[in-house]
Structure 1
Amino acid sequence: MNDDIERSRRRISRRRALTLGGAVGLGGVLTACASDSSSGSPTVTPPTSTATSAPTGAGSTVADLLARAPQCALSKEETQGPYWFDVDSIRSDLREDRPGTTFVLALRVQDGAECAVDPSAGGIANAVVEIWHCDAGGVYSGFESGSSSGPGGGPPPGGGGQPGASGETSDGSYSSGDQEATPTDDGTYLRGAQTTDANGIAQFTTIFPGWYPGRAAHINLKVHVDRKTVLTSQLYFEEVLLDEVYATTPYNSHVGSRTTNASDNIYDATGLVATAATADGYLGAINLAVDQ
């Protein structure tokens, strides 16, 4: 295991995490959004803008990538997996000094009925997009002991109908009633949520996700509207990009056989992220059509 990955895991605690990355209460974010909307200006989700003119090293913008991504394909409902819990943290930067390639991810949440008529329409403002994924070594925060080995990242903690479910349900500022897994440690790196702006766009800064045995590389996500989860799904990447990223440090210290998209029994093309290289990593974007 890469020494930088191991050292950073030891430095992070859940208590510290909630003070990092601009974590703020959902109420404060929605108040800011309402204030921006009433002034007629484009809504900005603190602390970073989700403006579609965000520059990248290759000249691509979020708008360019959203136009390239699948248009208004109803996002497939998929398992939340064994490593979700309600971290209840609104923040844009999820890294917590995790080593890895910088990855900026923009997600546009759209009403499926509206974008079916006009692919650029139907953006849902003030939805909450939540993402979580493993680090460069294939480990999930909160479950370092359980996700570090074995097919699918090791045996899921807890029990119940949902893999990894503890019997507890979420009751945070943006999620209510979803079954949670019980964390085995207090880490929260590479987890968090953002509210969508007036165009339905939320944006995160994270690292490019690693992989673990038995699954294709992916990012888990939930979309919440009025504390109700309207979509649970997963995001994927082109194989050429995965090969490129995983040949670099610290990813190349993770040895073993990686599962490809074609070999993964959960992979679905509606979750494929459009990407472009930037000066310091990659920009990714995807349209998420939901049925409210």
Structure 2
Amino acid sequence: MNEEVRPSRSRVSRRRALAIGGVVGLSGVLTACAGAGDPPSGGVATSAAVVTDPAALLDVANTCILAKEGPQGPYWFDVDSIRSDIRDGRPGFTLALALRVHDVSSCSVGGPLTPVRDAVVEIWHCDAGGVYSGFAAARADERSGTSGPSRETSDGAYSRGDPEARPTDGAEYLRGAQAVDPDGIVRFTTIYPGWYVGRTTHIHCKVHLDRKTVLTTQLYFDDNLTDEVYLLSPYVEHITRDTRNDTDPLYDDVGLVTTQRSADGCLAAVNLGVDL
């Protein structure tokens, strides 16, 4: 295992996280989550009242915009895991995430959204040390997202036929899927994603309908917020982050999530527009 990411492979208590010299306190990061400004395509939301449900942010997040198609990356595999809490004990800053799938073909800005019902939304991302579950033994040069060829095609409960990689271990942390509710919304509890060489901070996402993938995309975070979170343990132990949003070759602000503080972490939300 790479010594750079070894510290974040083990659990870290909140007491230790707040005691490490140079690490900002939780309140500092929550302030960053609340931030200033209300960008129309995502970013940091402001509100006189602190919201407690990430779904409450969806109405101020980007709407009526077609989600950006993107590569699924080399570390996707069909875990067939329907669950909302995908942490599996991984250490990191708590992130509550809401995603709403809506049909942009019948959408007008400011008007009611048409939810896509019967969809399944799947997410996966790396841990605080930049490692994906199932691939802890992967070579460091594969973590850029440009290698690691797929070897199979999925035949799972919510996806069929997508090319998938063959995992090198049995871990499935920070991976999972949810069926949308009648409003087209899913909610996940996870941790703020880490980073790896050549990529900015991101979450991978797929939307499936009738076991077919109708969207493969990536979600992104405001760099100022990421800078604050990465001063916390265990992120602070994974140093020399080399890529930010403006230097990432795949970044698109259509995928920028809107964030807000919560009592013990961050809330984030984004609307996923698909054309049906």
**2:102 — aligned with what?**
110
Say which of 8, 11, 26 aligns to 1:5. Answer: 8
Superposed, 1:72-151 pairs within 5 Å as 72-116=64-108, 119-146=111-138, 149-150=140-141
Alpha-carbon separation, structure 1, partners of 2:78 and 2:50: 36
CA distance, structure 2, for counterparts of residue 222 and residue 231 of structure 1 = 5
Q: Does 1:156 align with 2:147?
A: yes
- In 2, Cα distance between the equivalents of 1:62 and 1:103? 9
**SS of alignment partner, residue 259 of structure 1:** coil
Counterpart residue type for residue 115 of structure 1: C
Q: 1:145 to 1:119 in 2, by over 3 A?
A: farther
User: Greater relative contact order: 1 or 2 (C-alpha under 8 angstroms, separation 6 or more)?
Assistant: 2
Normalised TM-score (structure 2): 0.80
Match in the other structure for 1:32: none
3-state SS of paired residue (2:102):
strand
Distance 2:70 2:130 in 1: 20
Q: Can you list the C-alpha shifts for 1:226-256, whole angstroms capped at 9, x where unaligned?
A: 1110000000000111011001111000012
| Structure 2 counterpart of 1:268 | 252
| Aligned mate of 2:159, from 169, 172, 175 | 175
* Aligned mate of 2:54, from 51, 59, 62: 62
Match of residue 287, structure 1, among 264, 271, 274:
271
What is the TM-score when the length of structure 1 is the normalising length?
A: 0.76
5+ residue gaps, structure 1: 9-56, 158-163
Say if 2:232 is the partner of 1:241. no
- Give the deviation of 1:177 after TM superposition: 0.8
For residues 119 and 262 of structure 1, what CA distance do their matches in structure 2 show?
32
Verify the 8 A CA contact 1:4 1:99 in the aligned structure 2.
no
User: Given the alignment of the two structures, is residue 185 of structure 1 paired with residue 169 of structure 2, yes or no?
Assistant: yes
- Pair 99,81 (structure 1): closer, same or farther in 2 beyond 3 Å: same
Over the aligned positions, Cα root-mean-square deviation in angstroms equals 1.9
Q: Distance in 1 between matches of 2:121 and 2:200?
A: 22
Pair 1:216–1:181, CA change in 2 (3 A): same
